[in-house]
Each structure stands twice: as C-alpha cells, then as structure tokens.
Amino acid sequence: MTYKPTILITDDDQAWHDLIKIWFPAEEYILKSARDGTECLEQALLLDPDLILLDVIMPDMDGFEVCRRLRREPELAEIPIIMLSASADQNTHQKGIQAGADDFIPKLIDRHEFQARVRSLTRLNRYRKLLSERKRFKWVIDQAEDGFLVINEKNEIIDANSMARLILGLPKDSRLPEGLNFLEIAGREYRFEPETAWAGWPNDFRNPSTSKRYLIRPQTDNSQAFWLEISVLEQVAGDKVNRLIRLRNITDEKKGICRIHSFESAISYKFRNRLAGMVSTINTLARKDIEIDRSEFSELFQFVVKNAGVLQNELIEILEYLESPSLLYSDNGFNFDQLEALVNEISEGLGISPPLIEVEGSYHGVETLISDLAMESILWELFQNSKKFHPAKLPGIIVKLDRPETGILRMRIIDNGISLSPEQLSRVWKPYYQGGEYLYENPEGMGLGLPTIASYVWHWGGKCYLYNREDQPGVVVELVLPVRIENKE
C-alpha cells in the first residue's frame, strides 16, 4: 500500500484551500483544513501531519505565534512547517524562520517550485518518522525475552536483537559481519528437529502441514537441554524479501509436558494390572458362595498384602517424582539389562502378548542417558499405540536392538497393525494429531504421546523416525538413543 503524506492547511482564506487541493490531488495526499491558529493546534495534536502549511496573517493569533507554540509542544516539535505569506518581505521571512518554520514561501510562487518544496519536506519527514519508529521498535525488541533476527533471501543474518545474539553466540554490541548464514551459525550448537520440517527451510514456512520447527541444544553431563521454537514472518520491501525469525525459549514448557505424560503413563501401567489382581482376589475372599480353607485364605490374603505394599512403594516413587522436576532428566538412566522384564511387565498391563526381542551383539551394561522413567513412558506409549491401531487389538510386537555404536544404540519397535499414508507419516509428531485430523482442543488421553516421545529423545540429542513396514502392514518406530556403555571386566 502506497504511503500518502498528510498535509494540514491552516489559512482563513478558502480560495487558498481550494488551490492547494488542485495542486496536491487526493490520490497522492491526505489534505486536512484549519481556519485559524487554535484549530491548527488542535488538529496537529489529533493528526500528527507530515507537513503544516501555515499562513502568516490569521485572526485570533498570527502564524508566527502558532509556529512558536507548535515548537513548544514535544509531540509536535518535529513536524515540518512551511509559512505562507502574500508578502515577499525579507524581514517577514526571517521572522518566520526565527519562529521555527522550516521554510517560508510567498503565495505568488511558481506552482512547480511550490510542489517540489512540499514534496521534499514531506519525504524528509517520512524518513524521520521511519527512523524514529525503527529506534522505538529496536528498543522494544532489545528488551524482549524472545530472540528476534532478520535474515535475507540468502539465509544471511542482517540484524539480531540482544537475546538472539546471546542464544546464537553472536557479537553482543558490534555490527554483525556480512555473510553470516543462519543455519550454519545455529548448527554449531543446536540440532534441527524434526528434520522433515527443516528440509524446505525457509521457503515452505507458509505450508500449514509443516510441523513446528525446533532448535535443540541436547542435555549433557555439564549443561541442561535448551529448547527453542522457531517461527517466521515474511517482510517484503520493494524487490527485497527479508524474514523476521522469532526464537522462543520453550524449555520449561517441554519439561512440563514430559512430566505430565510420564506421570500418566506410570499411573496407567504400574497400577492397572496390580490393582486388577488385588480387586479380583479381594472379591474372591468376600464371596460367601465359595468355600476357602484356612491355608488358601491365608495365601490369598498374603498376596493382597504383598501387592498393597508394592503399590504403596510405587505410589511413593511417583509422588517423589512429582516433587522433583529434574528426575525425568536425572543421571539415573535405563539399563538395557532390565529390558526384557520391563517389556513383559508393560505387555501384561496392556493385556497383549510379550514382544519378541531381537538383539545384535550384546547390550549388557548399556545404559541410556534418558532416564529410566522416561524410557518406561516411551515403551508404554508405543506398545499402547500398537494395540490401539491393531484391527484385533492383539498386536505382535518386535523390539529390535542393533549392535551398540559409539555413544548411540538404535532401537526399533515393529508392529503388525496398519500402515499409514504419506500425509499421516508427515504429521505423526504433531501434538493432538489423530489419524489424519488436527485437533485444536486437548481431548483427554489423546495426541501428546508421539510428540512427547520425540521430546524425550531430542532432549538428549537422539533421533526418532516412524515409517511403514516393507514386508507387511504395520509401522516401525526407530529410536536412535544416546547411551553410555559400562566397561565391566
């Protein structure tokens, strides 16, 4: 949209107003009128015009006094003023300049010269306003908690606020060097997740099917993980296209989602099966139509007492977890020596057959950097999905472990349920995405499972993928897990 300067014409002569409207058409200018000095001051405060055309001789107060009052008002002091007079007297001219006018023009001036001088002052004022707005905007942006930076079509950083400089390790105060590539700078410290969302960067940011983009600095023994959510706004100026990038710190938000999800998973699989067995046994003991001898009664009662004690310990463990936000990301990783026992326990809780475990090499002494509670939540969620999407709710699951490599272990969870369409595969890591729909509300028990799994894995610098099986219907969830391997002789 073309900018149209606003001109406030202040003159008690209607003929002069009519002439100005002819010389400066409404297609190019916004023209406003004032009949005297008082109205001029009121309109100037209201309009903040780009230029005031001010007649010298007017009723109630002359143009010199109006000019002086305008210059005394902080909000109006920078507005350009052209004083107009039927006289070309030099003393009058000097008096106008001394009062604060930017120019003094006799009313008998050539039309083209008058138009040129008006255009020059309105253009200069426009630049002044833009500069002032830019300074204010920069001040606000520099105080922001989020990082903001501007990149050009070559993906080069041309400006960045204080927070963005801190996040990306850029010079704090000095002018940014030319040719700084955003992806190269960010890639020094951060991982780009999910990979599919970054593949078309930055040209496909308008595509609604594109997942949210994250920059993640994985957790290490010396520092906590750091999550940034990336959003983009395109800015067009002439033939140049720049993009404003927002870097929003969502570390606490991600930790909160993971904690809630892991708590729900722990409650679900730890309590469901154990409670079901206890309730069934208590119902048996309470029935009057069944004769139970003393020894059998004692055995059943001891079973209830034992499981109640285990249940109490598990509940205490979960309550302690709720009181310790860092437990999910603690140094207490998951040891793969416990894998078979864990998957059998989860399978029993879900009422499905135990999975087949296939192993390449030995995983003895291999421990994830991801906490044991997080791994339990991951496997519970994946097994539950396999059951949910299997036509008969009786999935056959394979847990396959590749030979551990330096610092990583590749684990695949393979089921025999249904295959997914390309569109579904591209969106499974989105929150609340359910079988082809994108839900905008948070229905209970839906939608956070796979994105939370990705959060666990990405948090520690791992990778996660989901793809269809090639040999039959079903999907494969592949997790590349960061691990440590104990050297035991």
Instruction: Give the domain ranges of the chain.
Output: 6-140, 144-249, 255-485
What region, left, alpha or beta, does residue 92 occupy, with left being phi > 0 and alpha being psi -120 to 50 degrees? alpha
185, exposed or middle or buried, with CB in 10 Å at 0-12, 13-18, 19+? middle
Judged against a pLDDT cut of 90, whether residue 431 lies above it is answered with no
Fold classification of 144-249 (topology level):
Beta-Lactamase (3.30.450)
pLDDT of residue 331: 59
Domain 6-140, what fold? Answer: Rossmann fold (3.40.50)
Confidence of residue 327 (pLDDT cuts 50, 70, 90): very low
Residues 194-223 pLDDT 10s: 888 888 786 665 554 456 889 998 887 667
Most trustworthy range by pLDDT among 106-110, 291-295, 458-462: 458-462
The larger pLDDT score, comparing residue 192 to residue 240, is at 192
| pTM to 2 decimal places | 0.53
* Nearest by Cα to 215 from 243, 257, 184, 242: 184
- Predicted pLDDT of residue 208: 46
Tokens at residue 200, please? 């078309």
**Res. 301: pLDDT tops 50:** yes
Please compute the mean of the pLDDT values over residues 11-40 and round it to a whole number: 90
Going 159 to 160 to 165 to 169, the CA torsion angle's sign is negative
Percentage of residues in the chain with pLDDT exceeding 90?
A: 26
Cα gap 241→234, rounded to integer Å: 7
| pLDDT level of residue 418 (50, 70, 90 thresholds) | very high
40: left (phi over 0), alpha (psi -120 to 50) or beta: alpha
Out of 35-39, 87-91, 374-378, the most confident range is: 35-39
pLDDT for position 7: 92
Strongest mean pLDDT among 24-28, 250-254, 313-317, 433-437: 24-28
Pick among 3.40.50.720, 3.40.50.300, 3.40.640.10, 3.30.565.10: CATH of 255-485: 3.30.565.10
Tell me the DSSP string of 174-220.
SPPPTT-BHHHHHHTT-EEESHHHHTTTTTTTT-TTSPPEEEEE---
Confidence of residue 479 (pLDDT cuts 50, 70, 90): very high
What's the 3-state SS for 323-384?
A: CCCCHHHCCCEEEHHHHHHHHHHHHHHHCCCCCEEEECCCCCCEEEEEEHHHHHHHHHHHHH
The label of the residue with tokens 């209607």 reads 14
Binned at pLDDT 50, 70 and 90, residue 266 comes out as low
The confidence score (pLDDT) of residue 437 equals 39
- Chain segment 210-258, per-residue pLDDT in tens: 568 899 988 876 677 889 999 887 655 545 667 888 899 988 877 766 6
Between residues 125 and 410, the one the model is more confident about: 410
CA–CA distance, 410 with 402 (Å, rounded to integer): 5
- Strand locations in 383-474 (E): 398-401, 408-414, 433-434, 437-438, 463-468
Single-letter residue type at 211: S
Q: What is the pLDDT of residue 52?
A: 93
Residue (of 363, 379, 382) closest to 371 by Cα position:
379
Least confident of 76-80, 289-293, 319-323: 319-323
Residue 183 to residues 233, 341, 416, 461: CA-CA distances in angstroms?
17, 43, 39, 18
Least confident stretch, 73-82, 140-149, 327-336: 327-336
Residue with structure tokens 């001898």? 293
Q: What is the pLDDT of residues 164-188, one digit of tens each?
A: 888 898 887 778 888 899 999 999 9
Give pLDDT tens digits for 124-174: 887 777 777 666 666 666 677 888 888 888 889 988 888 888 889 888 777
pLDDT attached to residue 352: 93
Answer yes or no: are the C-beta atoms of 260 and 447 closer than 8 Å. no
CA pair distance 182, 149, nearest whole angstrom: 9
Residue 193 pLDDT greater than 50, yes or no: yes
Predicted confidence (pLDDT) at residue 325 exceeds the cutoff of 90 = no
From residue 240, alpha-carbon distances to 129, 130, 202, 236 in Å are 21, 18, 15, 6
Average pLDDT of the chain?
81
Mean pLDDT computed over 10-29: 89
Would you state the structure tokens that stand for residue 348, as one six-digit string?
Answer: 């029993």
pLDDT at 190: 93
Q: How many CB atoms lie within 10 A of CB 334?
A: 23
Written as six digits, the tokens of 345 are 């326990």
